[in-house]
């Protein structure tokens, strides 16, 4: 079973495309032993792609797709999608943080450090504290490991 949380503004698009059968209220589901494997990664990525086809400039969906790629251990694809999200919304601190993580997975530590530093500047301006603190922590770890020297 794969559960995908869809932004409320996208449910109308999904219903009109025949991808959503009915609207159901969100409710708590009892904890089930779920296997998170490559099939679920692929299904989740395909769901995000379907929503993205309806609105290619939706930064929230681009972020979700980038996150799904990253969780599926596909950092190169995540990098492309997240760069597109940041191009559309330059002050998207969560996307900057995730892009830095993708670059780290690709072994591009100096690039990741630059993205994190850019994200810190944006985060301080927008007061987006959670991604800001995460990026500060990543910068400390990268500098401790010798990146950017």
Q: Residue 124 is part of a domain; what is its CATH number?
A: 1.25.40.10
Burial class of residue 129 in the structure, from the number of CB atoms within 10 Å of its CB (0-12 exposed, 13-18 middle, 19+ buried): exposed
Within a domain: 110? yes
What span, in angstroms and rounded, lies between the C-alpha atoms of 44 and 69?
9
Within a domain: 120? yes
Within a domain: 45? yes
pLDDT in tens, 40-99: 788 899 999 999 999 999 999 999 999 999 999 999 999 999 999 999 999 999 999 999
- Number of structural domains in the chain: 1
- The predicted pLDDT at position 23 comes to 45
pLDDT in tens, 96-110: 999 999 999 999 999
- The predicted pLDDT at position 62 comes to 96
pTM given for the model: 0.72
What span, in angstroms and rounded, lies between the C-alpha atoms of 8 and 81?
21
CB 52 within 8 Å of CB 58: yes
Q: Domain limits at 102?
A: 37-145
């Amino acid at each position: 079973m794969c559960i995908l949380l869809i932004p409320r503004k996208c449910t109308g698009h999904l219903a009109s495309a025949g991808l959503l059968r009915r609207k159901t209220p969100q409710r708590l589901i009892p904890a089930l032993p779920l296997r998170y494997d490559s099939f679920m990664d692929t299904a989740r990525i395909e769901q995000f792609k379907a929503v993205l086809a309806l609105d290619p400039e939706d930064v929230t969906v681009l972020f979700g797709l980038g996150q799904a790629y990253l969780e599926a251990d596909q950092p190169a694809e995540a990098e492309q999608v997240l760069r597109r999200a940041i191009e559309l919304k330059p002050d998207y601190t969560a996307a900057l943080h995730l892009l830095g993580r993708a670059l780290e997975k690709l072994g591009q530590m100096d690039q990741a450090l630059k993205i994190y530093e850019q994200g810190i500047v944006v985060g301080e301006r927008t007061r987006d504290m959670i991604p800001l603190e995460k990026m500060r922590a990543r910068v400390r770890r990268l500098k401790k490991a010798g990146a950017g020297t």
